[in-house]
């Protein structure tokens, strides 16, 4: 079997059988397509460990991040494990392929005062009644108030919100659902948007039947993650001092929860992390802030 044909079959397998997220499937498909392009003259059965090592070495020489190379390693390992189980290859050439350790960098985090000032400014702008301003205010309040991912926010439908309990039902990675709370400011901003902003945006569409999305674009269709990223980057970038997206609000929410005394397990459940180790990075952020405060305030620091 040709390598590219096998790669396509594996992409369908992880999508339909393993039911990985759409983003993971796209990343794996791109990685395997790149490997197939680098080894276009090879049949699947001809691939050996040295071919895989050379492919990763070329990525290293290009300057690809360690996290990218680690993901590529995972992609080909999964691919050849599947090919071996399916009887497409006699032996798995990736068994001895070693992935680089992922570098752990601290996320961009805005201070609580900075986020509060930003949201207050958005509230003043939204008070004029512009539907896009109302949406942007609600969007940032919900992202920060609930600590959800941008894909989870864009996937919210009207019946996912429980206004009385101030909770939202979101679908995270691996199609796992969880219920997350949000506070009074987010509830107020969301209510103002749903009453005055969303109907105005929806009216810009010719066909509005069946549209259940909460957050809409300027033309009345469901807001996509790319558009939401642009909104957050435009308003949050100057506060953080770098190019950031919606994840910076999620990072900030998690860090501020820990700073306020929330336990790690609670933050893990709120964020929808499968592993506690993923959540633990925020303890390092809090420790950095604690150390900085100590150096500034303690007379013998």
| Catalytic (active-site) positions | 149, 173, 247, 250, 273, 282
Q: Beta strands 167-171 and 161-162: pairing type?
A: antiparallel
Number of helices (H), then strands (E), in the chain: 14, 3
For the beta carbon of residue 291, count every other beta carbon within 10 angstroms.
11
- Of 220, 247, 219, the residue nearest 232 (C-alpha): 247
- Note whether 280 and 171 are within 8 A (CB): no
143 CB burial (10 A radius; 0-12, 13-18, 19+):
buried
Contacts of 198 (CB under 8 A, 6+ apart): 131, 135, 214, 216
Find the helix packing angle between 66-85 and 49-62, rounded to 10°: 160
Tokens in use for 269? 């459940």
For the beta carbon of residue 153, count every other beta carbon within 10 angstroms.
24
Compute the distance between CA of residue 112 and CA of residue 133 in angstroms, rounded to an integer.
22
Strand partners, 2: 43
């Amino acid at each position: 079997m040709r390598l590219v044909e096998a790669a396509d079959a594996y992409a369908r397998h992880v999508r339909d059988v393993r039911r990985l997220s759409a983003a993971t499937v796209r990343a794996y498909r791109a990685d395997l397509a790149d490997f197939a392009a680098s080894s276009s003259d090879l049949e699947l059965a001809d691939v050996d460990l040295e071919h895989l090592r050379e492919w990763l070495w070329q990525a290293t020489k290009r300057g690809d991040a360690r996290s990218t190379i680690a993901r590529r390693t995972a992609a080909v390992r999964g691919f050849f494990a599947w090919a071996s189980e399916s009887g497409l290859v006699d032996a798995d050439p990736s068994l001895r392929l070693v992935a680089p350790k992922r570098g752990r960098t601290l996320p961009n985090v805005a201070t609580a005062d900075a986020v509060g000032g930003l949201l207050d400014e958005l509230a003043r702008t939204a008070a004029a009644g512009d539907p896009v301003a109302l949406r942007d205010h609600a969007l940032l309040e919900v992202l920060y108030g609930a600590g959800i991912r941008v894909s989870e926010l864009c996937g919210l439908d009207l019946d996912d919100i429980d206004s009385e309990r101030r909770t939202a039902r979101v679908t995270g990675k691996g199609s796992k659902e969880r219920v997350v709370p949000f506070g009074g400011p987010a509830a107020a901003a969301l209510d103002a948007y749903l009453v005055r902003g969303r109907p105005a945006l929806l009216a810009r569409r010719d066909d509005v039947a069946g549209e259940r999305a909460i957050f809409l674009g300027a033309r009345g269709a469901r807001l996509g993650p790319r558009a939401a990223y642009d909104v957050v980057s435009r308003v949050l970038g100057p506060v953080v001092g770098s190019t950031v997206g919606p994840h910076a609000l999620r990072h900030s929410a998690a860090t501020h929860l820990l700073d306020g005394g929330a336990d790690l397990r609670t933050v893990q459940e709120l964020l929808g992390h499968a592993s506690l180790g993923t959540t633990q990075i925020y303890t390092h952020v809090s420790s950095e802030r604690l150390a900085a405060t100590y150096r500034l305030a303690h007379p013998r620091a």
